[in-house]
Each structure stands twice: as structure tokens, then as C-alpha cells.
Amino acid sequence: MAKLSHQDALTVARIVRINHAGEYGAIRIYSAQILVAKRFWPDCVPSLSEMLGHERTHCASFHAAMPLRNSRPCRVMQFWSWGGWLLGFLTALLGPQGVWACTAAVEAAVHRHLDDQLFFLTGRDHELHGIILSVREEELAHLRHAEELLTSPGPLLNRLRAAISVTTDCLIWLSTWGDSTRMTRALKASRHL
């Protein structure tokens, strides 16, 4: 890991914290969806179980990365926990299309933030960059899978996706104390160079 300025070290610690919290939230979403799907939508369970396994691995990777970066679990972890579980439960009650709309919305928001993080980490933290790059590939696969299974995304599902995406962005912003906005601006500025 390169020698970082105080501000950059703080941002790296926040990246690890938010990614850990997000993965924990995803674990809670998929766990609740599986609970409902086992009863009503058993065809969804294999895919959801596979994605849950990925999220558990991602969460463990970010938790293991915390000590070296002077990071700790997120202060608003209960929002990620209970919010994730409630979101998973309610979207699963809407049926398979609700499940896949939720997955697509969350993964699309996550993918945008991971891209911002990868840009920020280039030249700053090679190891964390590699972890996030690996995680991004699996998250992108989840997004593609969900979008393939969204067979009838009408106005209700589109509004649901938008609401979930905005809520995810807000939680990320809150959990990074606004660093996510700074990283997004830096990425956009670099694209115009």
C-alpha cells in the first residue's frame, strides 16, 4: 500500500467500511428473499443461494481488510441489517419479478460506486483495488442475471427499482460521510480529460 495523505487514508478506511456494510446488507436481503422464496418461489432459491454465498465471501474479504486500513464496521450497520432484511422480505412477497427488480437496482447502484472506488484506489491501495475488482465481477454477474430474469418490468417495477437505487445511494453517502460524492466527481472529471 502506498503512503497516503491523511484524507486519502480516511477515504480508504471509509471505502472498506461501506463495502463491508453493503455486503452485510446484501446478505440480509438475500436471506430474507430465500426465506420467502422457499415457500412461494422455489425456482428462485438456487440463484439466490449462490448470490448469498458470493456476498458472504465479499463481506469476509472486506472485514479482513479493515485492520490494515484502520477501519471498523459502519456506525449505521443496523440500517443496513434491518433495512436489507425488510427490503428482501417485501420484494420477495412481490414475486420473482420483485426479487429480480431488487437485485438489479441494488447491484446497479453498487456497480457505479465500485467503479468510483476503483478509480480512486488506483495508485493508492493495490491490494484493496484487486479485492474490489474481483467483487465487481461477481456483482456485475448478479446484475446481468437479474436483468435477464426481469421479463415484464412495468411502471411499478421501474419505480421500485428507482426507489431502491436512490435509497442505496443515500445509505452509501451516509456511510462514507460524503466521500462517495467526491470519488464520483473525480471519476467524472477524469473522463472529460
Look at residue 76 and tell me if it is in a domain: yes
Please check whether residue 176 lies inside any domain of the structure.
yes
Of 73-77, 87-91, 105-109, 142-146, minimum mean pLDDT range: 73-77
- Mean pLDDT, rounded, for 151-162: 84
Q: How many domains does the chain have?
A: 1
Name which of 11, 19, 16 is nearest 110 in CA terms: 19
**Does the predicted model carry a pTM greater than 0.85?**
yes
* 127 within domain boundaries: yes
Q: Is residue 143 part of a domain?
A: yes
- Is 15 among the domain residues? yes
Rounded Cα–Cα distance for residues 63 and 42 (Å) = 31
Task: For the beta carbon of residue 151, count every other beta carbon within 10 angstroms.
Answer: 8
What residue type is assigned to position 57 of the chain? T
Cα separation, 103 vs 30, whole angstroms: 9
Bigger pLDDT: 178 vs 4: 4
Q: Average pLDDT of 32-36?
A: 97
**pLDDT by residue (tens digit) across 35-80?**
999 999 999 999 999 999 999 999 999 999 999 999 988 877 888 8
* Residue span of the structural domain in which 97 resides: 6-191
Instruction: Specify the 3-state DSSP secondary structure of 4.
Output: coil
103-138 pLDDT tens trace? 999 999 888 889 888 988 999 999 999 999 999 999
Q: Residue 174: its pLDDT value, please?
A: 74
- The pLDDT value recorded for residue 113 is 85
In a domain, 97, yes or no: yes
Q: Is residue 1 part of a domain?
A: no
- Give the CATH number of the domain where residue 87 resides: 1.20.1260
The overall average pLDDT reported for the chain is: 88
Does residue 30 lie in a domain region? yes
